[in-house]
């Protein structure tokens, strides 16, 4: 279990993905910027399709999130490729006392 230290400032951490090299990542970055996510807390994957489970970005983003932080994604389909995967990620976040929006 992660111990939440009230003296530690909670931060926004995000993940975004583009499925192909031709898609523009800037739209995702802009959405996350408008939501207040610091640039250094945005984890990105480019040219990883939703069917590719081995995506480093979500693993890095989830590893960076601590109790009290919030994981932000521009669209749920950018994080999970199926309802079951989204549920698994949600269960993992809940077990670690984390939130996602």
Among all residues, which ones are annotated catalytic? Answer: 19
Neighbours of 73 (CB within 10 A): 23
Cβ burial of 39 (10 Å; 0-12, 13-18, 19+) is: exposed
């Amino acid at each position: 279990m992660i111990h939440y230290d009230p003296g530690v400032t909670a931060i926004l951490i995000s993940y975004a993905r583009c499925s192909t090299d031709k898609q523009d990542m800037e739209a995702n970055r802009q959405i996350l910027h408008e939501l207040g996510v610091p640039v250094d807390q945005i984890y990105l994957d480019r040219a990883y399709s939703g069917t590719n489970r081995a995506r480093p970005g979500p693993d890095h983003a989830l590893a960076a999130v601590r109790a009290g932080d919030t994981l932000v994604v521009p669209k749920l389909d950018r994080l999970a490729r199926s309802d079951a995967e989204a549920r698994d990620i949600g269960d993992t976040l809940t077990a670690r006392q984390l939130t996602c929006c």
